[in-house]
Amino acid sequence: MNFRPLVSVVVPTFNRARHIAEAIESALAQSWDQLEVLVVDDGSTDDTADIVADLIRRDDRVRYFAQPNGGVSAARNRALGEAQGAFIAFLDSDDAWLPWKLEVQMELFWRFPQAAMCWTDMEAVDANGVQQFPRYLRLMYSNYERFPAEQLFPRYWRLGELLTDAPADLSQVRVGTGNIYRRMLFGNLVHTSTVVLRRAIAQRVGLFDESMRRGGEDFRYHLRTCRYGDAMLLDIPSIRYRVGEDDRITHPRNNLYFARNYLRTLKEELASPPPERDLAPTYLERRAILAEAHQWLGDAEVNDGYSIRSAWHCLRSLWLGAPPRHAIKTLIKSGLPQPATEWLRAKKRAQHTASLRDVRSPIGGVK
């Protein structure tokens, strides 16, 4: 690929001084060097500004913007407004990219000019960078139970078939391409820190929803991206994703907000026909999509002590055709005395602490 377009790397951050240098340096170390790193400091009170200032002195591809705390969506939106590149990449400030990530993804965009977005798998590491899971994408998002990555697309290639100069150790990596909008309606399949998309598509998608401050904003964004073009999955980890820290938005305490925003997003999407008729879900698919969303929200409501709301969502899921066993179990829980419900909630949180495998849900919150 002779022409190397600029990639704008969007890095929102809030009090991540302990990790942000590693994140930014992983972007600057990319073999694809035509990039700008847009760091938006969302009201940090730690040493973030000083750390980024030092990096700017060493590499003028880093740009820094400070603003009052408005949430991760507000920070990403600020960066999108400042971006100058033809492509947009997302990198959370406690994650890190592998050095070949952008190079391979950009080569795939050249190979598939109709593609809107490319994402990858990720490796999960703890706060100290010790590997917890070598491949985490399928563990984090429950939609892979319905649509395994090996069956997600109509066609697959080996990377070496597509790129003559692919690194030897990546030549056998599977690449899937096609439209996944209808599949995404059943739950997220895309992890934000792995994503690269065309800026022209980002402009059609619009901004991240700043009202979704506690989860679900990325699912809404990626779902809308899939309306406007094909997606590509490079089925190998290209990032080191940090898990287990208390300040992550995917912490169990945010599960109710994930579930509420998930249902809200689906209602909005199903009320707005996609640009191509063959992307629209069937009547039965619409019912199944909403049934699962109400079921998840019923679980989340009862776990946070909202028994009446939980019962309503469970009954709604049954009316939409959800399998009765799970809904009835939640209905029984919603009728338990408050001390019993709190005991069950504490037990579930303890299980989550013991095993990061419990984070799987439709959009990556704790289910």
Q: Is residue 196, in this structure, part of any structural domain at all?
A: yes
State pLDDT tens for residues 285-312. 999 999 999 999 998 888 777 778 888 8
pLDDT of residue 348: 55
Evaluate if residue 358 carries a pLDDT over 50: no
CA distance 234 to 237: 8
State mean pLDDT over 238-263.
82
On whether both 60 and 180 belong to a single domain, the answer is yes
Tally the domains of the chain.
Answer: 2
Tell me which residue of 245, 163, 231, 158 sits closest to 194, measured CA to CA.
231
Measure the CA dihedral 197/198/203/204, to 10°.
Answer: -80
Tell whether 82 is covered by a domain. yes
Of the residues 249, 272, 306, which one is the last residue of a structural domain? 249
The span from the CA of 35 to the CA of 187, in Å, is 31
Report yes or no on 17 lying in a domain: yes
- Asked if residues 318 and 326 have their Cβ atoms less than 8 Å apart, the reply is no
Model confidence at 345, in pLDDT bands (50, 70, 90)? low
**233, 249, 265 — which closes off a domain?**
249
Asked whether residue 46 is assigned to any structural domain, the reply reads: yes
| Residue 280 and residue 198 share a domain | no
Same domain for 197 and 66: yes
Same domain, 174 and 275: no
- Per the prediction, the chain carries an average pLDDT of 90
**Bridge partners, residue 265, by sequence:** none
CATH number at residue 111: 3.90.550.10
Task: Give the pLDDT of residue 195.
Answer: 99
Query: 124 and 176 share a domain?
Result: yes
Residue 365 forms part of a structural domain: no
Domain that holds residue 125: 7-249
Each residue of 309-335: pLDDT tens digit?
888 888 899 999 988 887 777 777 776
Quick one: 207 and 311 in the same domain? no
Residue 313 in tokens: 């969502």
CA-nearest of 77, 71, 1, 96 to 38 is 77
Of 249, 268, 296, the last residue of a domain is 249
pLDDT category, 275, cuts 50, 70, 90? confident
Identify whether residues 214 and 345 lie together within a single domain.
no
Choose from 102-106, 298-302, 354-358 the range with maximum mean pLDDT.
102-106
Residues 245 and 335 in one domain: no
Backbone angles phi, psi at 261, to 5 degrees: -70, -30
Residue 97 and residue 205 in one domain: yes
pLDDT tens digits for range 134-172: 999 999 999 999 999 989 999 999 999 999 989 899 999
| pLDDT category of residue 366 using cuts at 50, 70 and 90 | very low
118 pLDDT higher than 60: yes
What pLDDT does 340 receive? 47
315 and 209 belong to one structural domain: no
CB 263 within 8 A of CB 212: no
Residues 184 and 70 in one domain: yes
Phi first, then psi, for residue 335 (nearest 5°) are -95, 0
More confident residue, 252 or 139: 139
Both 16 and 102 in one domain: the answer is yes
**Residue 189 pLDDT > 90, yes or no?**
yes
**1 in a structural domain:** no
| 306 burial type by CB count under 10 A (0-12 exposed, 13-18 middle, 19+ buried) | middle
Let me know if residue 218 belongs to a domain: yes
User: Rounded to the nearest 5 degrees, what angle is found at the Cα of 15, between the Cα atoms of 10 and 16?
Assistant: 60
* pTM score of the predicted model: 0.90
**296 in a structural domain:** yes
pLDDT digits (tens, 9 = 90+) for 3-48: 899 999 999 999 999 999 999 999 999 999 999 999 999 999 999 9
